[in-house]
C-alpha cells in the first residue's frame, strides 16, 4: 500500500480533493489533512510566520510516513520551504517523492518589483471565485453572487492571511532548491492566471531531480478541472519514485 498525502491551498480545505476519490487505485491510501489555512479556521493561523512547520506536523501524523506528498498552490511553497531547509541542514525530508501543483515561485529576487503587488492582490478574489465556481458546476452560482462570495472570502482571509502568502512567495528565490534531491514532479497549468506556468517550468529546471508536467488546457485547480488525468499523472509519478526504506516500508 502506498500512502499519498494531499495538502490543500490557502482558503480551501481537504474537500477540494474529494472529486479524486473515484480515480485512486486500490493500492493507494490517501491522507488529506485539514491545514491551519483552511477555509473555516484561518483566524487562528494568519498571524504565524512559520507555516512550513505545520506541513511537517501533517507529514509526521501519517502512520508509516508518506510515500508521496502532493501540495497545491500556497502549500507547494511551504513544502518547498521545508524541503529546502531540511536539505540545507543535511537532514533531508523523509519523503520518497513530491508533486508541486501550480506553485508560486520565482528564481530571482530581482523578478519581484513594486508594480506587481497591486495586480497580485487584485487577482486574489478572482482565484477564490474560480475555486467556488469549479466546485459548484453541478449547481452553477449566479455571477453576481459568485463575485460576492469571493469578495467575502478574501475579506475573511484578510490582510494578514494574504501577507502570509505573499511573504512566502517573496522568499522563494532564497530557497536553496539546488540542494533538494527529492524526486519532484512540478505540475503547471497553461491557463493558470494565478501562478503562471513559467513558475512551474523554472522550478522544475532548478530542482536536481525535478520533472515538468504542463497541461495546456488547465488552470489553477487541476483536481477540479481534470480529476482523472490529474490522478493518472500522480499514479505514474508514484510508480517512478523509489520505495520507502526502513521497518515501516510496505506496512
pLDDT digits (tens, 9 = 90+) for 129-166: 998 889 887 778 888 888 898 888 888 888 999 999 99
Block residue for cell numbers 532548491? 177
What value does the mean pLDDT of the chain take?
Answer: 93
Q: What's the mean pLDDT in 43-55?
A: 91
Lowest mean pLDDT among 28-42, 45-59, 127-141: 127-141
pLDDT at 251 exceeding the cut of 60: no
pLDDT at 215 exceeding the cut of 80: yes
pLDDT for residue 72: 98
Burial call 40-56: b when 16+ CB within 10 Å, e when fewer: eebeebbeeeebbebbb
Lowest mean pLDDT among 92-101, 133-142, 162-171, 215-224: 133-142
Q: What's the mean pLDDT in 170-187?
A: 98
pLDDT at 222 exceeding the cut of 50: yes
Cβ neighbours for 63, distance < 8 A, ≥ 6 positions apart: 251
Q: Domain locations in the chain?
A: 2-240
Superfamily the domain 2-240 falls into: Alpha/Beta hydrolase fold, catalytic domain (3.40.50.1820)
Burial call 135-169: b when 16+ CB within 10 Å, e when fewer: beeeeebeeeebbebbeebbeebeeebbebbbebb
Retrieve residue 42's grid coordinates: 484561518
pLDDT for residue 7: 98
In angstroms, the first-to-last Cα distance of the chain is 7
pLDDT bracket for residue 250 (50, 70, 90): very low
pLDDT bracket for residue 246 (50, 70, 90): low
pLDDT at 65 exceeding the cut of 80: yes
Amino acid at each position: 500500500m502506498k500512502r499519498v498525502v494531499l495538502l490543500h491551498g490557502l482558503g480551501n480545505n481537504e474537500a477540494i480533493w474529494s472529486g479524486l476519490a473515484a480515480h485512486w487505485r486500490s493500492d493507494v491510501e490517501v491522507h488529506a489533512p485539514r491545514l491551519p489555512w483552511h477555509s473555516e479556521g484561518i483566524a487562528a493561523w494568519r498571524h504565524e510566520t512559520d507555516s512550513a512547520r505545520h506541513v511537517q506536523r501533517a507529514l509526521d501524523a501519517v502512520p508509516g510516513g508518506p510515500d508521496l506528498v502532493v501540495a497545491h498552490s500556497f502549500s507547494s511553497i511551504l513544502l518547498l520551504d521545508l524541503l529546502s531547509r531540511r536539505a540545507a541542514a543535511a537532514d533531508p525530508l523523509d519523503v520518497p517523492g513530491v508533486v508541486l501543483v501550480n506553485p508560486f515561485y520565482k528564481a530571482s529576487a530581482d523578478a519581484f518589483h513594486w508594480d506587481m503587488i497591486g495586480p497580485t492582490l487584485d487577482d486574489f478574489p478572482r482565484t477564490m471565485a474560480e475555486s467556488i465556481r469549479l466546485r459548484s458546476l453541478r449547481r452553477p452560482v449566479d455571477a453576481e453572487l459568485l463575485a460576492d462570495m469571493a469578495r467575502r472570502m478574501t475579506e475573511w482571509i484578510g490582510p494578514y492571511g494574504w501577507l502570509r502568502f505573499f511573504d512566502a512567495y517573496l522568499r522563494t528565490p532564497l530557497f536553496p532548491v539546488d540542494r533538494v534531491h527529492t524526486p519532484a514532479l512540478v505540475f503547471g497549468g497553461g491557463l493558470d492566471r494565478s501562478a503562471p506556468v513559467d513558475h512551474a517550468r523554472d522550478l522544475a529546471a532548478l530542482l536536481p531531480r525535478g520533472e515538468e508536467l504542463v497541461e495546456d488546457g488547465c488552470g489553477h485547480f487541476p483536481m477540479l478541472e481534470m480529476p482523472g488525468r490529474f490522478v493518472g499523472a500522480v499514479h505514474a509519478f508514484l510508480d517512478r519514485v523509489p520505495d520507502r526504506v526502513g521497518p515501516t516500508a510496505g506496512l
